Every structure is written in C-alpha cells, then in structure tokens.
Amino acid sequence: MSQLFDDRIEYDFKLPTQKDLPVLILAHPHPLYGGSMENKIIDQVYRRSLEKGWGALRFNFRGVGKSIGSYDEGKGELNDFLDLASHAIDQASDQSSRIILLGYSFGAWIVFQSIRYLKTSLHAVIGVAPPTNLFKFDHYPNKLQKIVFAAENDELAKLPSVKQWFHTLDEPKHLEIVKNADHFFVGHTSNLIKKIFHCIDKTLEYFFVGHTSNLIKKIFHCIDKTLEE
C-alpha cells in the first residue's frame, strides 16, 4: 500500500530487514511520457531488493499517480527526489549506511544531479539509459561509485553521447552496454536486472575504503560472468 509523503508525494518504502543491508532509492522515467514508479524496470528493481531483505524506496514524481502538482522541467522533480531520499536516509540511519541511488532515463538525470545536494556519504549511483543528449549531465568530481547501463540501440539516450559523458566521470566507474537493446530494454529486461544486481552485490563486498582496485576488478568480473551465461 503506497503512502503520501508530506501529503503530496506518493511513495513505497521498506527498511532493510537486517542491519547494514543496503537501501536503494529509485527514480522513474519522464513523468510526461508514461513514467511512474510502476515502470517495469523500477518495479522489478524495487521488488527484487525487498526479496533480498534490502531497503528500497520508489515514488511518483509530482503530477504522477497520487502525487500532487505538475511537471516542473526537472527543478521540482529534483526537489521531490531530494525530499524522499533525505527521508529514506534519515529513517535508515540506524540500520544502513549503504545508500544506493538508481535512476532510469529521466530518473538517471535526477539522481546524478542529486549527489551534489545530499548531505550524506553515498555508496553508489546507478544510471540506466541516461539521456545525456537530451539533458545536461555535469561532471561529478568525486570518488562515489558510478555504474552506467546503456542500450546499444537506444533511440532516445544516444550511445555516443552516453560514452562521451561517461569518459568525463572520475573513477571508480563502469559502463555496461546491453547489446541489441533499445531504450525500453524490450526483450532484455531480465538480463538488465540480473546485471544490475550482480554489480550491486560486488560493490557491497568491497564497501570499505582501500578496496577500490579490487572493486573495479569485481565489477568487470560480474559483467563478464553475465555475458557468458
């Protein structure tokens, strides 16, 4: 059953079942083009997280579902995300310091912007099909773990643009290109979800400072394993 945050934003949120398990904070695709927290990819990441005992939060941007308001060209949507992310981080503060942000399409733009404003130490940020040719994705000069999933045949988030932006990011980072997939990952959703959780699992194994090189090796190892299957 969804809730209303501050009587205006519809969201679902579950805390982790055990101490030190991660909390994923999810942002859905563009509100004007059918994006919602029920989006297939966001929904599967949310549900899979709960199955693993992790914490997870998903929500509807303003004007979507039961959320009050109307589209605000990203400014209000960023505020929505910051409000919900801060709420989740505060609620989970006694249980988890492993906060992972994940956004799909428009949501990827929002989560990458948010890392400038969230006053906490984040574990990782994940962008799925980030539309770098449609929105301004800045350079992020920090040591936050950054994982990007791009679709080879993406008609909206153009692969050359994603690659160009990705190369401006500081390490640690990883770009995974999903072969033959389009922006919606039709026929590739299960594979994408599997890759996402393989990589998250590996980053969690190397949570502590001083393991960056091993972390990168493990990320590539997990991707190679999924490609072999």
Q: Which amino acid is at 177?
A: I
Q: What is the pTM of this model?
A: 0.89
Q: Give CA–CA dist 17/113, Å, rounded.
A: 29
Least confident stretch, 13-27, 41-55, 113-127, 134-148 = 134-148
Nearest C-alpha neighbor of 104 from the set 12, 182, 189, 27: 27
Name the residue type at position 144: L
CA dist 183 and 94 (Å) reads 37
H-helix or E-strand containing 57? strand 55-59
Residue 24 DSSP class:
E
Please report the pLDDT score of residue 211 as a whole number.
Answer: 46
Is residue 217 pLDDT above 90, yes or no?
no
DSSP 8-state class, residue 181: -
* Structural domains in the chain, sorted by start: 3-188 (3.40.50.1820)
Tell me what pLDDT residue 219 has.
67
For 173, phi then psi, to 5°, come to -155, 160
Measured CA to CA, the distance from residue 23 to residue 30 in angstroms comes to 23
* Residue linked to tokens 């940020």: 125
| 156, burial (CB in 10 Å: exposed 0-12, middle 13-18, buried 19+) | middle
d(CA 179, CA 160): 14
| Residue 167 predicted with pLDDT over 90 | yes
pLDDT at 173 exceeding the cut of 80: yes
Structure tokens that stand for 90 in this block: 């505060």
Q: Supply 73's token pair.
A: 């060209």
What is the reported pLDDT for 141? 67
Task: Decide: 58 and 46 in contact? Cβ < 8 Å.
Answer: yes
Length of the chain: 229
Question: Do residues 190 and 229 lie in contact, with contact meaning Cβ atoms separated by under 8 Å?
Answer: no
Tell me: the pLDDT tens digits for 174-212?
Answer: 999 999 999 999 999 999 999 999 999 989 886 544 445
Q: Token pair of 192, please?
A: 């994408």
> Which residue has tokens 């991707």?
223
- pLDDT of amino acid 51: 98
- pLDDT digits over 65-116, tens only? 999 999 999 999 999 999 999 999 999 988 777 999 999 999 999 999 999 9
215: pLDDT confidence band, cut at 50, 70 and 90?
low
Q: Find all residues with CB under 8 Å of 2, minimum gap 6, and list them.
A: 10, 11, 12, 65, 66
Q: Please name the helix (run of DSSP H) or strand (run of DSSP E) that holds residue 126, with its range, or none.
A: strand 124-128
